[in-house]
C-alpha cells in the first residue's frame, strides 16, 4: 500500500511538472535580454542592414529568440514618430536601444538617461549633443559616426571625373534631418571650391520627391542624394525618376545602386551594422556606453551600375572604372 501511495505521489508530481513547465519556460523566455531596434526606413528597405546586425549578434552568442529578444519598429522616414516608439521601448524596459539617423538618436537620448543607446550611424554626435566627445562619450550613448565633409569632397570629385562638362549640381535636402543638413553644407562648400552651381531642393515628405526631381530637368547636370531614411524607403522611385530625367545621380549608400541607381560612395553599411552589434554585445556583457569610444569607419567603397550608365548614355572613364570597388552589370 505504501508503495502504491508513493507511486501515485510520484505520478502526481510528474503531472504537476508537465502542467507547470510551459509556464516556467515562458517566464524564462520573458527574461531574455531585449534589444529595441528602431529603423528609420521600412523593414524591407533596411533588410540588408538588419540581417548583418542579427548575423553578427548570432556569431557573438546572441541568438534571436533563444539568448536575446529583439523588438523591431520602423518609422519609414517619419521622424515625428520616434519619441512615441522610444517611449514604448522605455515602457518595455529593453536592455539596449539601437537606432540610426540623428533625429532618432536625439529622441532616444531625450527619453532615457538610463537605457544604453547604440547608433550605427549619426552625423556629428558631438555637435548634436549626443556624446561629450568621441573618445569618451560620457553618458548612455555611443556608436559609429561618418564624417560628412570627407564624403562630400569625394562625391563631387567623382561627378567631375564622370561628367566632362559638369557645372551644375543639385542635392535633395530633407527638412528637419541634421545629417542631411550637414551633408548639404559639406556639398555646398565643395561645390564652391570647384566653381559649381549648387541647387538645394527641399523635401518634406515622400510626395515631394517626384515633383522635385521633375523640376531638375535641364537645370542640373547631376544629383546628389544624401543619407536619409525617407529616400532609402523610396529609392526605387528616386532611381526611376532620375533615369527618366536623364539625371546622373550619386548616393552615399550602395543599396541605391543595387536597385538601379548610377553610383554610390560611402562606408560599407553592412560592416557598420555588424560593428554596432559588437557594441551591443559588450553592453549586454556589462560594459558602459560611457566608456566605449565612438568609432568612425576607415574604409569606403565606390559602386557603379554599368547598366544604368549605358541607359543614361554615359561612357565610364577609365579613372572611375579603376577606382570602383564593384561594378554592377
Q: Show the 3-state SS of 239-296.
A: HHHHHHCCCCEEECCHHHHHCCCCEEEEECHHHHHHHHHHHHHHHHCCCCHHHCCCEC
Q: Rounded CA gap, 268 and 56, in Å? A: 15
Q: What is the DSSP letter of 135?
A: S
The residues near 184 (Cβ < 8 Å, ≥ 6 apart) are: 171, 173, 200, 226
Structurally, what CATH architecture does the domain formed by 148-268+300-328 represent?
Answer: 3-Layer(aba) Sandwich (3.40)
Q: Fold for domain 29-146+269-291?
A: Rossmann fold (3.40.50)
**How many CA atoms lie less than 13 Å away from 187 in the CB half-sphere?**
29
- pLDDT value for 99: 96
Confirm if 143 and 120 have CB atoms less than 8 A apart: yes
Q: Rounded CA gap, 76 and 207, in Å? A: 13
Each of the 329 residues of the chain gets a pLDDT tens digit; together they read: 444 444 444 344 444 433 333 333 333 445 899 999 999 888 988 999 999 999 999 999 999 999 999 999 999 888 899 999 999 999 999 999 999 888 899 999 999 999 999 999 887 889 888 999 999 999 999 999 977 667 888 899 999 999 988 999 999 998 888 778 888 888 999 999 989 999 999 999 999 999 999 999 889 999 999 888 889 889 999 999 999 999 999 998 898 999 999 999 998 989 999 999 999 999 999 999 999 999 988 889 999 999 999 999 999 999 999 999 999 98
In the chain, CATH 3.40.50.2300 covers 29-146+269-291, 148-268+300-328
Q: Which three cell numbers stand for residue 96?
A: 539596449
- pLDDT value for 101: 84
pTM, rounded to two decimals: 0.79
Amino acid at each position: 500500500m505504501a508503495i502504491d501511495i508513493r507511486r501515485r505521489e510520484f505520478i502526481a508530481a510528474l503531472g504537476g511538472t508537465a502542467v507547470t513547465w510551459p509556464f516556467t519556460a515562458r517566464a524564462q523566455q520573458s527574461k531574455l535580454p531585449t534589444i529595441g531596434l528602431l529603423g528609420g526606413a521600412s523593414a524591407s528597405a533596411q533588410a540588408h542592414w538588419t540581417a548583418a546586425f542579427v548575423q553578427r549578434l548570432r556569431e557573438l552568442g546572441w541568438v534571436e529568440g533563444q539568448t536575446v529578444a529583439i523588438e523591431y519598429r520602423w518609422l519609414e522616414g517619419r521622424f515625428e514618430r520616434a519619441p512615441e516608439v522610444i517611449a514604448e521601448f522605455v515602457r518595455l524596459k529593453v536592455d539596449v536601444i539601437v537606432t540610426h539617423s540623428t533625429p532618432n538618436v536625439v529622441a532616444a537620448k531625450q527619453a532615457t538617461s538610463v537605457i544604453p543607446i547604440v547608433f550605427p550611424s549619426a552625423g556629428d554626435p558631438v555637435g548634436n549633443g549626443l556624446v561629450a566627445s568621441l573618445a569618451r562619450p560620457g553618458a548612455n550613448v555611443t556608436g559609429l559616426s561618418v564624417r560628412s565633409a570627407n564624403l562630400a569632397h569625394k562625391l563631387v570629385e567623382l561627378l567631375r571625373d564622370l561628367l566632362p562638362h559638369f557645372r551644375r549640381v543639385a542635392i535633395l535636402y530633407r527638412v528637419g534631418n541634421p545629417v542631411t543638413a550637414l551633408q548639404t553644407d559639406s556639398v555646398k562648400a565643395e561645390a564652391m571650391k570647384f566653381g559649381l552651381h549648387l541647387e538645394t531642393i527641399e523635401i518634406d515628405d515622400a510626395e515631394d520627391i517626384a515633383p522635385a526631381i521633375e523640376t531638375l530637368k535641364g537645370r542640373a547636370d547631376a544629383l546628389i542624394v544624401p543619407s536619409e531614411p525617407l529616400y532609402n524607403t523610396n529609392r526605387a522611385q528616386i532611381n526611376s525618376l532620375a533615369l527618366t530625367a536623364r539625371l546622373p545621380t550619386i548616393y552615399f549608400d550602395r543599396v541605391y545602386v543595387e536597385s538601379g541607381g548610377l553610383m554610390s560612395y560611402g562606408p560599407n553599411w553592412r560592416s557598420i551594422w555588424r560593428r554596432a552589434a559588437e557594441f551591443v554585445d559588450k553592453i549586454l556583457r556589462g560594459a558602459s556606453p560611457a566608456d566605449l569610444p565612438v568609432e568612425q569607419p576607415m574604409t569606403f567603397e565606390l559602386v557603379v551600375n554599368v547598366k544604368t550608365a549605358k541607359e543614361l548614355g554615359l561612357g565610364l572613364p577609365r579613372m572611375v572604372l579603376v577606382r570602383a570597388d564593384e561594378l554592377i552589370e
